[in-house]
Amino acid sequence: MSDEKIIEELQQQMNETPELFEAVFFLSKLQSERSIIKEAGQLKIVPLPKYQTDSHTIDSKYHKPISRCFH
């Protein structure tokens, strides 16, 4: 299912059962991750190199979305 279709269905669900959504949902913008990255401009999600230690490999792949990096 496309992101646009999911957003449409979510909005419909919010209309049908508003009691299930906190107020902040109604004041927030529903959008796809793709559009957030596009709007972020120069920021890109960059995977960091894997980091080795003597004892074990530390998987430091940094794949979380931008919105979560700073919270």
Partner 1 sequence: MILIKSNADDYSTTQVVKWLVHFNADFLRLNNTTLLKDLRVQDGIISFVYKNKKVVLNNVSKYWYRRGRWDTFSRKQLAQIQDKKLHRYLNFFNKEVERDVTSIIEKSLAENALNSYKTSSNINKLDVLDSCKTLDIQTPETLVTNSKAILTSFVSKHTEVITKAVNNLDPYIHTNVFADLMTKKITTETLDKLPDTFNMSLFQNLVEKQFEIRTFFLIDTFYSMAIFSQNDEQTKIDFRNYNLKSPNRCVPFTLPKPLETKLRKLLKIYQLNSASLDIIYTKEDEYSFLEINPIGQYDMVSKPCNYYLDAEIAKYLTS
Question: According to the binding rule CB under 8 A, does residue 46 interact with partner 1?
Answer: no
Task: Please give the Cα distance from 13 to 8 (Å, whole number).
Answer: 9
Question: According to the binding rule CB under 8 A, does residue 10 interact with partner 1?
Answer: yes
Question: According to the binding rule CB under 8 A, does residue 49 interact with partner 1?
Answer: no
CB of 13 to partner 1, least distance (A): 10
Task: Please give the Cα distance from 14 to 24 (Å, whole number).
Answer: 12
Q: Is the C-alpha dihedral spanning 31, 34, 37, 41 positive or negative?
A: negative
Strand partners, 52: 57
Residues of this chain that interact with partner 1 (CB under 8 A) are: 1, 3, 6-7, 10, 15, 18-34, 36, 40-43, 48, 51, 53-56, 58-65, 67-71
